[in-house]
Chains A and B, each alone.
Chain A
Amino acid sequence: MDNFIFFLTSGLCIGAVYALIALGYTLVYGIIKLINFAHGEFYMVGAYAGFGIYLVLPSGTPAIFAIPLIIISSGIAGIIIAVLTEQIAYKPIRKSGRLAALLTAIGVSFLLQNLASFINKANPLQYSSDKVGSIGEICQRSVSIGGGGIKIIQFVYIPVTLALTLILWYIVMKTNFGRAMRAVSQDPDAAALMGINIDSVIRKTFLLGGLMAGIAGALIGFHSVIEPMMGFMPGLKAFIAAVVGGIGSIPGAVLGGLIIGIVENMVLFCNVPSGYKDVAAFVVLILVLLVRPQGILGRNTREKV
């Protein structure tokens, strides 16, 4: 029982990152009903971009300055890749049906993974922790909580996710743009009659999703290896989190992310071999879909024709 607090904390931290990625899935789905399978790759690109900034920073840059800079750069990279993907790959086929869009998303996912392998020769990258006070070393430092070590950088995850979720919530619920987003989500034709530029709303939605995925990439990159396939599993789990929480729902995405993070850590707590950890998310998905197909906070709306 000693380890319970450790696994719970660990689960909440990683869950916050899943939530950040899941928000992008849920936003994009809400607007254009597309499961953007390339979303995990936006996260991967964010991690690489952050590392790239780290490489060009003068070696003595204090971490307190470098870490926010890396997070912001990753967010910007996430925005750029997300908006480019939307403009180049999704926009031209927007009227070709949902299956075409879904297949394109999978194609973009493979393309970005392979592009990253091509550029970086598939070498895993990691923030160097050789020197005391370097970013890598600081991010690897850990504190003991409930019988296990938690890296201090992980404590940044929850406040970052919380802050971004609140900002997002404010944008969607309180601003003109947010109202336009919700209008487009419900009825694009009626939204167009209001004078809303649908293309612009979709572009900005990808921008928000890309921003959060990019930042999530920076956060994980700080203490983990950065490699071309790194977006696959977290992307999949975040997608599951969005579905579990109720796809299209912002609080649902956060709740789903936290649930997936906690459950997979509870599996470890119960002494299940760590190889089975990744199965936990799928089990949760199946259970939730059996009991509540629309997701925990999702609304039971039938497709209107």
Chain B
Amino acid sequence: MSNPLTREQHLDLYYFMQLNRQLEERMVRLFRQNKIVGGLYSSLGQEGVSVGTCYALEKKDWIAPMIRNIGALLVKGVPPRDIFTQHMAKYTSPTQGKDGTSHFGDLKVRHIVSPISMLGDLIPVMTGVAMAGRYLGQKIVALTWIGDGGSSTGAFHEGLNLAAQQRAPFVLIVENNQWAYSTPVSRQVPVKNLADRAVAYGIRSWIVDGNDVAAVYNTTKEAVDECRAGRGPALIEVKTMRMRGHAQHDPAEYVPKQMFEYWRARDPIALYEKYLTENKIWDAKTKAEIDARIERELDVEQKFAEESPMPPAELAEEGVYCEGCHAIEATWQRAKAEVSPPASSFEPGWEVKDYGAFAEVEAIRKETAAPAVFAPAGNAGGNGAKVSKPIVKSGGKPQPKPPARGVEPEVPEVPRVPFGRGPKDKSVREAQNPRDRHAHQNPRDKRGRR
């Protein structure tokens, strides 16, 4: 498969990543000037994830960002002034000062569901969005992100399981930025790759280098296409690195210095600039033009935000209920008659194909000639049961199909990996398949660094 991106799209990816970074750099300065009322959460180093994933969506698709997915908001068409004004609690912000950061949404035009601070809750919500879109015949895909930290919540499990049970057109990006506040991923979860969890839900998964925006885009596009074709949901683990502390107040002294150095050498924007140059997609002049455009735009947007007023105090009392202020109407793209009686009439009942687990246990026993007793966790595979090993592939090789139900997942030793487990790690490289059809899409492959 050749890289489907046009030159314009390639330049778009750069524009959005750089816009994301420059916007946040400006906000750091505003924070230091005490112009940002609350906290400031940096996505430095993660721009490729936000931009690459969201760029794979169509206009009609829905997203629910996390706090660091500012790049995704920009791709969706949110103007930078909305980000500035939100952080500065201005009346002109999307929430008129009622909430800060990237906590805002847009149901009607851009199809963005606002995040909340309790992580994981968006997974069931976006599952519902995906289900409703399918019900209304809209052919949309719903996508949200969850961190390595948030992947341990109960809502993650409930939401992903429901999405899988419903075969919802839902894409979950597991944004593994190595740190949940101050805790490294290896101390949060006992699995090697967060994508391994997809096996438990019987859904497809991918692992991709989050600092390679083109690879992120391609992988997400493939997953989105799968979901749109009715083969959802999908899970993509992107390996990346949070290059600053949890928020501005946090100097992140708990992160080993070498880890920052390791990832700084893999900065997503620097890598992509090199890729564009080496592939003659742009030249210095084009870069300068885009950079100047970003500065120009951000000057205007920041000025607007700084000159905007704070909300009037009485606004605090308004808007608890929708009292006729919104017209609620579904956009039907199929005939309502299809879901109305008598067309919807249905003979209730369950089909239970194999009469439950016992038949499956028997099948496993016959297949493996092993006793039909499950090994305890940590000893899986020892009883002859088949356990798939994930294949990590930068550029988006899907993991193998999940094993038969009833097989205990492999629980590897908790590795001590201070540098995260990005695709440059040895274990990952060993799993690389050189014949992978996406390999040439990886900019670093072009440079012959592998």
Task: Say if A and B assemble together.
Answer: no
